[in-house]
Amino acid sequence: MKPTRSAITAAIAWLLFWALMVLVAVEDYRRDGGTAYWQPVLWETSSACVATFLLLLQRRATRRHDHLIATPWRWFALQASMLPLFWLAFVPLVFGVRHVVYALAGTSYEHEPWLQVFVYESLKLTVFVGLFIVIGFGLLSYRELLGARLRAEQANALLREAQLQSLARQMQPHFLFNALNTISSLMHTDVARADATLVQLADLLRAALALGERPQATLEEELRLARAYAGVMEGRFDGRARVDWRIDSAVLGVALPAMSVQPLLENVFKHTVERRRAPTRITVSAARDGGDFVLRVEDDCGMLGKEADCGAPGIGLANLRARLAGLHGDGARVTLAQLLPCGVRTELRLPCAS
């Protein structure tokens, strides 16, 4: 298992602490006129090694109770219950090491009476261990905070993905309903053209169902569906609609909500082309505008009504706005504007990654 950042931080702090203790001991020893510098180094390094061993033992014994960090008094009580281990083991181990090393060096290690040594070292160790227990509490609390934040973000991401998939699936029956209406209208006027359109619609619906399973699609995939839809509708209205495509190839890879271009075209056919006999020219353009991707669908004769002015022209645009909000928040929008002397522009704008 790789060490966590908090564990690495604690280890570095512990090493720096004992390095400082060694330097202080050496300096004090030098001031007192000592010349055998290995002795103060031995005193502090023996204390450091034994303290490290005992702290690791304590950590191993209490790791499974990290969940108690949510109730600090219980966590601190558990850590405090390990202090008798330090008191009983620290002095015998540390001073045993020192006596052995001194003996190997051919000298003897002199110190205060054992009772005095035990009390002094235990008090000093309690302060040191208490300090690092508090530091450990801070590191564990920070780790738990990050974990809780990560879990919340993952839950929000899953919820948002579920909402987007639900909205995308909502477009499938809506699209199918309009496609069947197209076939129905053609059956009464031109059976041969209706049969040809039905074949085209089969391919169109397959593409629509495939996109409906995904929350996002590239502009290139969206245009494939939109062009097929426009072809069907141009055939249905037989010369009453013409669609011009002005697409910058540099933005074909931009990710959009799945089935987002087709509803913009559908809005023009429903609110403009169906209501007039004269030809309607529709222009679909896509390009980068600074840091944004901009898609526009314009017609040359539409008029905004009260319903469009309120920003709710139908299920297609309402659904698209909801999905844009789920993906980009306030950074994306769909707006409708009246052109002069006539015509309507629908603009989709969203942040465009480099």
What pLDDT digit, counting tens, does each position of 294-339 carry?
999 999 988 886 544 444 456 678 778 888 887 787 888 999 999 9
Apex 67 CA angle, 65 and 70, nearest 5: 130
Question: How far apart are alpha carbons 192 and 217 in whole angstroms?
Answer: 34
Q: Residues 284, 261: contact at Cβ < 8 Å?
A: yes
CA dihedral 212, 173, 332, 146 (to 10 degrees): -60
Q: What is the DSSP letter of 3?
A: P
Question: How far apart are alpha carbons 272 and 10 in whole angstroms?
Answer: 69
Has residue 193 got a pLDDT over 80?
no
- Residue 149 falls within a domain, yes or no? no
Distance of CA 117 to the CA centre of its chain: 55
For residue 166, give the nearest of 314, 317, 312, 326 by alpha carbon: 326
What pLDDT digit, counting tens, does each position of 228-278 carry?
888 878 877 778 899 999 999 999 999 988 888 988 998 898 888 888 888
Q: Are residues 329 and 191 in the same domain?
A: yes
Q: Residues 207, 161: contact at Cβ < 8 Å?
A: no
Number of domain units in the chain: 2
- Residue 144 falls within a domain, yes or no? no
pLDDT of residue 178: 64
Average pLDDT over residues 106-130: 86
Residue after which a domain boundary falls, among 111, 138, 168: 111
Instruction: Name the residue with tokens 């056919």.
Output: 269
Model pTM score: 0.51
What pLDDT digit, counting tens, does each position of 216-241 carry?
889 999 998 888 888 878 877 778 89
Q: Are residues 86 and 191 in the same domain?
A: no
Residue after which a domain boundary falls, among 72, 95, 111: 111
Q: Are residues 167 and 244 in the same domain?
A: yes
Question: If pLDDT is split at 50, 70 and 90, which confidence band does 129 have?
Answer: confident
Residue after which a domain boundary falls, among 91, 111, 131: 111
- Residue 134 falls within a domain, yes or no? no
Domain that holds residue 296: 159-351
